[in-house]
């Protein structure tokens, strides 16, 4: 049975990584107004919010299942404190998890209403390093890190994330220049 | 003009703007096109939402307003369901795939006779033969923590380790148990055989298959358990050293060598 926990840990980790990148891409396309005309902006926003929540749910399952897997040797403190005893390969994952919590929880409607927009936005930008750290965690501690389909898949995910990040950064730089010229 | 219908009320904000423009320009602009009941309802709802937003912005108590009729109550519902279903299906599929991979590769990762790498630089044919015999009998089933010794009949000169296979203590770490046996021939350490190593999952198997041959060849080259830790296999390296050292100590003890 312990092996099944291990398989489930790996599977949920991979799915969580894909969902994190999907949520990031959705959010970046939405914020850079590159959503096209076919679908309404509220469709993009609703799906972005949902994917963010789903990412956190799968990360939660990933963490719980890895703890239940007795072969992994992970203690409870290893899942909460980075680099406690399990090393940084696991530690990056712990840091990324806390970052995702920071991103998703304040974005819940009830909490977001009480936050100043600038503060919420600053916290929300943590999602980018969170995705980067989750990729580092996958490469360093993933059992499948040496398997070609896994490395190619992660490279594809990184590529998918880099494109909208670039568009967003270009949009931000243009937006900053425009008011100064006006 | 006598059959003109009575005008319906227009949005008060628009009427106010119109009056201001008339006052500024000094001429009377025609009144805007009358709106129907549906448009009037939309305008009223929009005005209510705007008022609520203004109140919330100014720190007042926000009033819950009716949703925009043109806006779906639950947007992207189908996509959300699809995303959830796809995620669950992918998780199940990957889990099944990993299970299948492990079943399919089990035979290839089991060590034949407990040996990962056979490096015998100085062993004679007879010594190799006896080594293989000892290995076959040892197998993967030795789990005793107490070092046991199998000594061959041939006894070389004093102060050298007797030919034979010496089983080291099983050393546990957080990933599993490592146990080795040292094979001596002609007073030399000619082989180190792995009796147990952490092989509960593919990750451990891969790490140990990479690290153990390095540790074995280094031990044979150094003729001792003084080997460098293999990067990424710290636990295995430490346990390997502990088990090999106990095997060497057992060999020395059996040969009457002290110190």
Question: What pLDDT digit, counting tens, does each position of B203-242 carry?
Answer: 677 778 778 888 998 899 888 888 887 766 777 888 899 9
* Measured distance between the N- and C-terminal CA atoms of chain B, rounded to whole angstroms: 125
CB contact under 8 Å between B98 and A42, yes or no, is no
Q: Is A116 on the interface with B (CB under 8 A)?
A: no
SS3 call for A108: coil
More confident residue, B202 or A57: A57
- Which chain B residues are within 8 Å of A51, Cβ to Cβ? 83
Q: Ramachandran region of residue A138, left (φ > 0), alpha (ψ -120 to 50) or beta?
A: alpha
When mean pLDDT is compared across A22-31, A52-61, A102-111, B137-146, the lowest value belongs to: B137-146
Q: Do B76 and A43 touch (CB under 8 A)?
A: yes
Nearest CA in chain B to A88: B232
What pLDDT was estimated at residue A94?
94
Rg of chain B (C-alpha set): 42
Q: Name the minimum distance, in Å, from the CA of A121 to any CA of chain B.
A: 17
Query: How far is the alpha carbon of A146 from chain B, nearest alpha carbon, in Å?
Result: 9
Measure CB to CB from residue A146 to each of B83, B98, B206 and give the nearest one: B206
Cα separation, B117 vs B192, in Å, equals 8
Of residues A73 and B96, more confidently modeled: B96
pLDDT for the residue numbered A17:
94
Mean pLDDT across B72-80: 76
H/E element, A156: helix A148-181
Q: Which residue has the tokens 């990993």?
A: B98
Q: Tell me which of A166 and B116 has the higher pLDDT.
A: A166
Q: Which band of pLDDT confidence, cut at 50, 70 and 90, is reported for residue A49?
A: very high
Residue B230 CA, chain-centre distance (Å), reads: 20
Residues linked to residue B150 through DSSP beta bridges, in sequence order: B165
Asked if the C-beta of A58 comes within 8 angstroms of chain B's C-beta atoms, the answer is yes
How far apart CA B163 and CA B167 sit, in angstroms, is: 13
Strongest mean pLDDT among A26-35, A142-151, B149-158: A26-35
Cβ count near A75 (within 10 Å): 14
Q: How far is B135 from chain A (nearest CA, A)?
A: 28
CB B147 within 8 A of CB B167: yes
Mean pLDDT for the stretch of residues B188-194: 90
Residue-level pLDDT at A48 = 92
For residue A10, give every residue at least 6 positions away whose Cβ sits within 8 Å of its Cβ, in sequence order, or none: A142, A143, A144, B94, B95, B98
> Of A59-63, B101-105, B169-173, where does mean pLDDT reach its minimum?
B101-105
Residue A50 sits at the chain B interface (C-beta within 8 Å): yes
Mean pLDDT of all residues in A85-91: 80
Interatomic CA distance for residues A134 and A177, integer angstroms? 33
A148-176 average pLDDT score: 83
Would you place residue A182 in the very low, low, confident or very high pLDDT band (cuts 50, 70, 90)?
very low
Top pLDDT among B189 and A72 is at B189
* B89 has a chain A CB within 8 A of its CB: no
* B2-11 pLDDT per residue, tens: 455 555 566 7
- Classify B112 as helix, strand or coil: helix
Mean pLDDT throughout B240-257?
A: 89
Q: Name which residue leads in pLDDT, B60 or A50.
A: A50
Q: Do B91 and A42 touch (CB under 8 A)?
A: no
B17 touches chain A (CB under 8 A): no
pLDDT bucket at B61, cuts 50 / 70 / 90: low
- What's the burial of B209, exposed, middle or buried (CB within 10 Å: 0-12/13-18/19+)? middle
Do B203 and A143 contact (CB within 8 A), yes or no?
Answer: yes
Phi first, then psi: what are they for A72, rounded to 5°?
-70, -25
């Amino acid at each position: 049975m312990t092996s099944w926990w291990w398989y489930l840990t790996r599977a949920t980790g991979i799915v969580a990584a894909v969902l994190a990148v999907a949520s990031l891409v959705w959010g970046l396309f939405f914020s850079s107004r590159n959503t096209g005309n076919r679908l309404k902006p509220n469709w993009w926003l609703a799906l972005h919010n949902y994917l963010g929540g789903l990412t956190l749910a799968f990360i939660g399952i990933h963490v719980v299942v890895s703890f239940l897997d007795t072969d992994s040797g992970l203690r409870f403190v290893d899942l909460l404190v980075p680099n406690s005893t399990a090393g940084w390969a696991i530690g990056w994952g712990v840091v990324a998890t806390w970052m995702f919590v920071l991103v998703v929880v304040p974005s819940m409607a009830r909490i977001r209403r009480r936050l100043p927009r600038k503060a919420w936005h600053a916290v929300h930008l943590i999602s980018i390093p969170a995705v980067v750290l989750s990729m580092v965690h996958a490469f360093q501690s993933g059992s499948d890190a040496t398997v070609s389909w896994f490395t190619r898949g992660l490279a594809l995910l990184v590529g998918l994330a880099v494109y909208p990040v670039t568009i967003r950064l270009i949009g931000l730089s243009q937006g900053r220049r425009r008011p100064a010229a006006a | 003009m006598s059959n003109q219908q009575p005008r319906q009320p227009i949005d008060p904000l628009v009427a106010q703007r119109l009056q201001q423009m008339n006052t500024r320009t000094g001429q009377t602009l025609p009144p805007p096109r009358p709106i129907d009941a549906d448009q009037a309802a939309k305008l009223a709802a929009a005005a209510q939402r705007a008022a609520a937003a203004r109140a919330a912005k100014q720190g007042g108590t926000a009033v819950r307003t009716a949703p925009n009729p043109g806006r779906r109550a639950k947007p992207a519902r189908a996509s959300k369901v699809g995303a959830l279903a796809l995620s669950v299906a992918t998780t199940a599929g990957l889990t099944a795939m990993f299970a299948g991979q492990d079943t399919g590769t089990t035979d290839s990762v089991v060590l034949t006779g407990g040996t990962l790498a056979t490096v015998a630089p100085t062993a004679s044919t007879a010594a190799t033969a006896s080594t293989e015999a000892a290995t076959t009998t040892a197998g993967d089933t030795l789990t005793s923590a107490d070092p046991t010794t199998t000594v061959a009949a041939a006894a070389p000169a004093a102060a050298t380790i007797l030919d034979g296979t010496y089983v080291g203590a099983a050393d546990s770490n957080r990933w599993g148990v490592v146990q080795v046996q040292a094979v001596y021939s002609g007073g030399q350490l000619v082989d180190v055989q792995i009796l147990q190593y952490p092989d509960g999952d593919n990750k451990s198997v891969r790490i140990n298959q990479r690290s153990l041959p390095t540790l074995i060849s280094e031990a044979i080259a150094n003729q001792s358990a003084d080997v460098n830790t293999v990067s990424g296999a710290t636990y295995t390296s430490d346990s390997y050293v502990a088990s090999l050292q106990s095997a060497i100590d057992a060999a020395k003890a059996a040969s009457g060598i002290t110190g």
